[in-house]
Structure 1
Amino acid sequence: MKRDWDLIRAILVAAEESEGPLSTADVEGWPADAVNYHIELIVEAGLATGGCTTYLNNGGRTCRIESLTWQGHELLDGIRSKTAWNAIQRVAKEKGLALTFEVVKLAAAEVVKSLFR
């Protein structure tokens, strides 16, 4: 499965807005397997605490985010705004760059800098 930055952004926003842990079912509009995969990536990247559970009786799987980490909040602060997110995607595409974690962080910082010029 490919990493989908739009889904990552949606999960981070939903996790921040959540009153408690965020589960797969709380992220609407995306297939459960994609949400599970991306929650797992978010936790592995240190952007959130949480994990996944596989049920032995039916092989089903669900993932959850307990809370965002400092790193998760920092990243989300840079990509929360739809305007900023669109600018990040546009700049990366114009420069022929893949949306890696480092590119997203650098582009978000550049977008913020450009607002102060």
Structure 2
Amino acid sequence: MKRNFDLIRHILLKIEESDSERMTIDDFVTDEYSPKEISFHIRLLLDVNYIEATSIRTLGSPFEEFIVQRITMFGYEYLDSVRDPKIWTETKAKLQKATSSVSLEIVKSVATKIISGMLGI
């Protein structure tokens, strides 16, 4: 499965919007994103310490289930750079020009440079 930066942003925004400390995969499902895709991306967010979540093994489930508790400081640092829809759109446009894959750090760096430019820094 390929990493989807739009889905990563979607998950972080949903966690931030929620008052719950017990979100499940169902809280993130849309017509665009399947439970299996969401599960994969929650695992990726755990890998980079952007969120805190507990894995729940459910017998017969085709994907890993999670209880998502919160965004970490690392997660907020990333989300702060991509939260604004205008910044996100411009960031994605710049990243499409890249000839190869990019990391989350590059995404954050590009968005931060766009924000800096808007601020005249």
Q: Same fold (TM over 0.5)?
A: yes
The answer (yes or no) to whether the contact 1:43–1:51 under 8 Å persists in 2 is no
The answer (yes or no) to whether the contact 2:81–2:111 under 8 Å persists in 1 is yes
- Aligned equivalents of 2:106, 2:117: Cα separation in 1: 16
Between the two proteins, what is the percent identity of the paired residues?
A: 24
Matches within 5 A, 1:1-117: 1-20=1-20, 21-29=22-30, 30-56=33-59, 58-59=60-61, 61-117=64-120
Structure 1 residues 67 and 45, CA gap change in structure 2 (3 angstroms): same
Stretches of structure 2 lacking an aligned partner (at least 5 in a row): none
Counterpart residue identity of residue 72, structure 1 = G
The two structures, once aligned, show a CA RMSD in angstroms of 1.5
The number of residue pairs the alignment matches comes to 116
Structure 1 residues 84 and 97, CA gap change in structure 2 (3 angstroms): farther
- Aligned equivalents of 2:91, 2:61: Cα separation in 1: 38
TM-score (structure 1 length as normaliser): 0.90
Deviations 1:30-62 (A, max 9, x none): 100000010111011100111321213x24541
- Aligned equivalents of 1:93, 1:6: Cα separation in 2: 13
Deviations 1:35-92 (A, max 9, x none): 0010111011100111321213x24541232100001011111101111111111112
TM-score (structure 2 length as normaliser): 0.87
